[in-house]
């Protein structure tokens, strides 16, 4: 044991030293670079190498942080999360809320100087919906008329099918985009700033369908920054886009997105000035960082949770574990045995709130008021009820219960939480689980294929509404990693999406969450907070409560 401890300590020291040398090799401290060259250069850590930075395929926060600075949608969000014009300088909405007409600004251009056209949006949206594209975020475009029907056009079980031409988006001319929705959606304008709705160039993508995002010459974008270099497993570097319509107001000259996953490495790099901005610092450091002002706790609409694999593929992974988890009493017992209050207080330490529902308490309803979440269980463990349910399922005191495996992506915080859960299940239920750490890209792939038993997961809101959480567990949602399949739930969510009566819609969403939490295909643990450490010279960064870092208005003081 002593030898292992020494080895771990040596590994941490070496990792920190290596991080410093790697970043120094890229040019030394940010402050020195900026002041010496006269340019404003910042280095920001993503925390993981994005699986993709394709707007139509991305489904990770890491990828989104890159995309929202490289691309621009029809609308933007300001520092108060309010919708402002983006590529569209104005728009009209029909009285029934079903028809939108967007007018693109004449000076909107791509990074190679070509004009941004309405056809670029039409192509991008239909590409993401195309079933051959296999976008996990296609569901976000189901608000479009016939969007879901087109996406499901190759599914023999689908009751409604449509062609691409029948999807409710059409370029009337180069600068006019007409959009028709399935139902009135009050947050639709907010969605227009989301990565999946951003434009891409057909000529670029179709010439380089598999690697267009990996090279500066093909990663043509229309936002405030454009790609300069893509160094695999090291950094993705951007420079100011001179062809962006608002380039005169963009103050930063260069952003280097680093992909360090180890907290000790990127925290050490921040302390020495090699990084200007990081989030998720080491949990043991958070209380002091918040106290002395080095870090700030930002609003963050999200839920940290675990998936139970309830899909048919679970039996191929571990038939005994799959059989146990098929019993809802087992899933509820596992959830009730967790002391969420202890996790947030003693493990995560970032001011998180124990999650007693799937929809976080910071979400508002259609009227802008609180959603008024129900408390489906206590923040602390209910061991007595958990043991009772487990015994009813045939596993008294955990006897005969199969060993489970939990996968999680690289981050010390995830490992610490997993270890705490492991200990609670062993102590409270007599259940053993093993833990397996995976690189983020690999974990997302395994989760998408339902090739696991327990999976660490989390969801950050795409827009401020309960629907952004409650439509995840629908059968056709590409981010439904649990494999939950409940036709009644699907029908209720579909009906709520087109319900125009605010009070009735809110009631339907509460009923949906009641159904979800009764079936428990996933286990909420806590509500996120976003703890960010930032160079004090870096100003006006918009840290969005949706998980994005916007550098459009940011500045680096001399």
Decide which of 160, 184, 199 is a domain's last residue.
199
Distances (CA, A) of 254 to 77, 225, 547: 22, 8, 21
In a domain, 56, yes or no: no
Closest CA to 47 of 547, 528, 456, 446: 547
Distance in angstroms (rounded) separating the CA atoms of residues 18 and 269: 10
Share of the chain above pLDDT 90, in %: 86
Instruction: Return the CA Rg of the chain.
Output: 24
Q: Which CATH number fits the domain that encloses residue 507?
A: 3.10.105.10
In a domain, 65, yes or no: no
What would the pLDDT profile of 205-216 be if each residue is shown by its tens digit? 999 999 999 999
Same domain for 502 and 453:
yes
What would the pLDDT profile of 386-442 be if each residue is shown by its tens digit? 999 999 999 999 999 999 999 999 888 999 999 999 999 999 999 999 999 999 999
What would the pLDDT profile of 247-298 be if each residue is shown by its tens digit? 999 999 999 999 999 999 999 999 999 999 999 999 999 999 999 999 999 9
Domain count, the chain: 3
What would the pLDDT profile of 86-115 be if each residue is shown by its tens digit? 999 999 999 999 999 999 999 999 999 999
Confidence at residue 502, expressed as pLDDT on a 0 to 100 scale: 87
How many CB atoms within 10 Å of residue 390? Answer: 28
Same domain for 545 and 498:
no
Same domain for 505 and 366:
yes
Same domain for 226 and 158:
no
Same domain for 148 and 177:
yes
User: What value does the mean pLDDT take over residues 356-384?
Assistant: 87
Distance in angstroms (rounded) separating the CA atoms of residues 45 and 319: 40
Same domain for 130 and 239:
no
The predicted model scores a pTM of: 0.85
In a domain, 319, yes or no: yes
Same domain for 475 and 383:
yes
Which DSSP string corresponds to 81-137? S-EEESSEEEEEE-TTS-EEEEEE-TT-B-TTSPBP-HHHHHHHHHHHHSTTT--TT
In a domain, 122, yes or no: yes
Domain that holds residue 170: 72-199
Q: Which CATH number fits the domain that encloses residue 293?
A: 3.40.190.10
Same domain for 399 and 498:
yes
Identify the three-state secondary structure at position 295: strand
In a domain, 352, yes or no: yes
In b/e form, how buried is each residue of 151-173, taking b as 16+ CB within 10 angstroms?
bbbeeeeeeebbeeeebbbebee
Q: Which CATH number fits the domain that encloses residue 120?
A: 3.90.76.10
Residue bearing the bigger pLDDT, 23 or 40: 40
Cross-strand bridge partners of residue 278: 533
Identify the three-state secondary structure at position 419: helix
Same domain for 496 and 349:
yes
Same domain for 547 and 535:
yes
Residue bearing the bigger pLDDT, 21 or 274: 274
What would the pLDDT profile of 338-349 be if each residue is shown by its tens digit? 999 999 999 999
Backbone angles phi, psi at 139, to 5 degrees: -60, -25
Same domain for 93 and 12:
no
In a domain, 217, yes or no: no
Same domain for 6 and 152:
no
Scanning the structure block, which residue is given the tokens 């030293």? Answer: 17
Helix pair 487-497, 502-519: axis angle to 10 deg: 160
Task: Say whether pLDDT at 448 is over 80.
Answer: yes
Distances (CA, A) of 40 to 18, 424, 492: 25, 48, 50
CA angle 57, 58, 64 (to 5 degrees): 145
Give the chain's mean pLDDT.
92
Identify the three-state secondary structure at position 437: strand
In a domain, 37, yes or no: yes
In a domain, 215, yes or no: no
Closest CA to 494 of 147, 244, 57, 202: 147
Closest CA to 466 of 434, 506, 427, 430: 506
Identify the three-state secondary structure at position 370: strand
User: Residues 6 or more apart from 275 whose CB is under 8 A from it?
Assistant: 23, 30, 43, 44, 45, 258, 266, 269
Distance in angstroms (rounded) separating the CA atoms of residues 289 and 35: 27
């Amino acid at each position: 044991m002593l030898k292992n401890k020494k080895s771990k300590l040596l590994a941490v020291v070496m990792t920190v030293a290596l991080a410093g040398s790697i970043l120094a090799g890229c040019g030394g401290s940010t402050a020195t670079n900026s002041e010496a060259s006269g340019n404003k250069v910042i280095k920001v850590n993503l925390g993981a190498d994005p699986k993709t930075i394709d707007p139509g395929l991305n489904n990770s926060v890491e990828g989104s942080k890159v995309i929202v600075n490289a691309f621009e949608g029809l609308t933007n969000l300001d520092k108060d999360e309010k919708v402002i014009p983006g590529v569209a300088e104005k728009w009209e909405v029909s009285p029934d809320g079903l028809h939108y007409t967007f007018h693109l600004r004449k000076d909107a251009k791509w990074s190679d100087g070509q004009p941004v056209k309405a056809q670029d949006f039409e192509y991008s949206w239909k590409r993401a919906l195309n079933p051959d594209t296999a976008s996990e975020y296609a569901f976000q475009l189901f608000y479009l008329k016939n969007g879901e029907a087109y996406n499901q056009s190759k599914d023999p079980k689908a009751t409604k099918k449509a062609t691409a031409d029948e999807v409710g988006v059409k370029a009337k001319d180069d600068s006019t985009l007409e959009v028709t929705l399935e139902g009135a959606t009050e947050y639709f304008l907010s969605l227009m700033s989301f990565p999946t709705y951003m434009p891409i160039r057909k000529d670029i993508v179709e010439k380089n369908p598999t690697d267009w995002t990996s090279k500066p010459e093909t990663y043509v974008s229309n936002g405030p920054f454009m790609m300069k270099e893509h160094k695999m497993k090291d950094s993705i570097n951007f420079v100011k886009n001179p062809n962006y319509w608002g380039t005169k107001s963009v103050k930063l000259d260069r952003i280097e997105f680093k992909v360090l996953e180890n907290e000790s490495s990127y925290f050490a790099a921040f302390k020495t000035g090699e990084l200007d901005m990081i989030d998720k610092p080491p949990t043991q450091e958070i209380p002091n960082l918040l106290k002395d002002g080095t870090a700030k706790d930002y609003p963050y609409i999200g839920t940290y949770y675990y998936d139970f694999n309830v899909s048919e593929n679970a039996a191929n992974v571990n038939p005994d574990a799959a059989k146990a988890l098929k019993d809802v009493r087992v899933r509820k017992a596992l959830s009730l045995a967790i002391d969420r209050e202890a996790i947030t207080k003693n493990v995560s330490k970032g001011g998180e709130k124990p999650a007693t529902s799937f929809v976080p308490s910071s979400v508002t309803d259609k009227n802008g008021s609180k959603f008024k979440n129900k408390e489906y269980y206590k923040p602390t463990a209910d061991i007595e009820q958990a043991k009772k349910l487990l015994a009813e399922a045939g596993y008294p005191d955990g006897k005969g219960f199969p060993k489970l495996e939990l996968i999680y992506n690289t981050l010390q915080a995830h490992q610490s939480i997993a270890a705490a859960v492991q200990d609670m299940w062993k102590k409270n239920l007599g259940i053993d689980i093993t833990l397996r750490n995976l690189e983020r890209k690999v974990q997302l792939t395994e989760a998408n294929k339902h090739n696991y038993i327990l999976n660490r997961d989390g969801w950050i809101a795409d827009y401020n509404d309960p629907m952004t959480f409650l439509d995840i567990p629908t059968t056709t949602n590409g981010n439904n990693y649990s494999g939950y399949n409940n036709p009644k739930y699907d029908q209720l969510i579909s009906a709520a999406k087109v319900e125009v009566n605010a009070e009735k819609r809110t009631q339907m969403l509460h009923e949906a969450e009641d159904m979800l939490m009764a079936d428990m295909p996933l286990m909420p643990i806590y509500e996120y907070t976003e703890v960010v450490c930032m160079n004090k010279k870096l100003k006006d960064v918009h840290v969005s409560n949706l998980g994005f870092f916007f550098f459009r208005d940011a500045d680096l003081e001399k």
